[in-house]
Structure 1
Amino acid sequence: MKLNREFYSRNTLTVAKELLGKVLVHNINGEKLKGIIVETEAYLGIRDKAAHAYGGRKTKRVEAMYGLPGTAYVYLIYGLYYCFNIVTEKEGVPEAVLIRAIEPIEGLDLMAKNRFGISYDNLTKYQKKNLTNGPGKLTRALNIDKALNMIDLCGDRLYLEEGDNSEFNIVETTRIGIDYAEEAKDFPYRFYIQGNSYVSKL
C-alpha cells in the first residue's frame, strides 16, 4: 500500500523513524526500482543549524522544503551527488528527512547498470554491498536526480510503500558530514536499522 499525505504530515523525528522499513519505489516507464529504507536523517528546518532552511532561509534551492508534506527535495552536493529528501510537517514548515541508505529488493539489474554500468550478477561482492549504502549511491542506483525535485511522492512515479512489517531495532545516533553545524552536529537525528548491511556508517 502506498503511503499517503497523512503519513508525512507529522513530527519530523517521528516520520524519520517510521520511514525505516518502508519501501522507496521509482517507476521508470513501467520498470520499478525498489529498496527498503534502512537509514534516515531528520532536519528540523528553521531551528536546526544543519538544515538548509535554518533561520528561515528561503532560496530557490530550498523552495521544496516549504512545500506540501510528501514532496521530494532533491539537491546536488559536491557538484557530483544527488541527495533525496522527503518534506514533512505541514506546508510552510521547512523540515525534511534525508534518505541515507536503502536495501535493494527489485530492479537490481537496472540499479547495477545505473551505478556500475554492468548487470547485477557481474558485480563483485564489494560492489553489491556498495550499491545503495549511501545517499549519493542510492540516488544514482535509482536514477533520482534534480528532475524529480518537488515531485509529489503521493503520485505514481516516485513514491513509498508499506514494508512487510518485519520487526527490527532502531539505532538513534548523530548525523554525518555536518561538522559546520555547531551544537546541531551532536543532535541524535540519524536513525538506522540495527544489523542491516546497507547502513552507510555504524
Structure 2
Amino acid sequence: MTVTLRLAQNPDADALLSRSPLAALIGMLLDQQVPMEWAFSGPYTVLQRLGGSDLDARLIAGYDPEAFAAVLSDKPAVHRYPGSMAKRVQQLCQYLVEHYDGDASAVWADAGTGAELLARLVELPGFGKQKAQIFLALLGKQFGVRPKGWREAAGAYGEKDSFRSVADITGPESLDKVRAYKQETKRAAKAAKESKESKA
C-alpha cells in the first residue's frame, strides 16, 4: 500500500515518513510539547545530519549518546528538548533492535488484533497509552494496518471521520480541523478546572 503522509507539511520530510516505518515512529515519539510539523520534520532532519538514504535503528541505537544529542541539538534543533529526546529516540531504537531485529514495521506486521497491537505500542519506550492509541489510529487510517478490533483499541482516536489527532491529518484543511478540536478541548478543560476551583 502506497502511503502519502502530510504531517510535517514538508514534501521531503513527509516522503520519508511515508516510506520509513522508523521515521513515523520517531516522529510520533517527538510529537510532544512542540508543534506537530516540527516533531514530524525531526526524522528527516536527523537523516540529513546522519547521512545515508534511510534511518537505521541499529545505527541510532549504537551511536555515541553525546554525539547523537549533538545531532538533535544542532541549529535548528530537532526538538525543544533535544538532549532528553535524543536519549528517548536512542532508547526506542535500542528496544527495536532487541525485540524486533531493528525492523520498526515488525511491531505491527503480524499483530493479530487491535488489542495486541496496542499492547506492543505501549511497550515502546516513550509511548504511553494515549500516544500508542494515536499511532494505532494512524496505522489504521493511513497505513492500512487494520487488525481485528483496531478502531476499538485506538479508542476515540479510531473513530471514523473524526478530527482529533495526527491520525486524521491528510492536508491543510484537516490540520486546521484537528487544531480547532485541540483548542476547544483545552478551553473546555480550563473552564472545568476554573469551575471546580471556584466551588472549592
Q: Which TM-score applies when normalising by structure 2?
A: 0.28
Considering fraction of residues, name the structure with more helix: 2
Higher strand share: 1
Pick 1 or 2: higher relative contact order, CA cutoff 8 A, min separation 6: 1
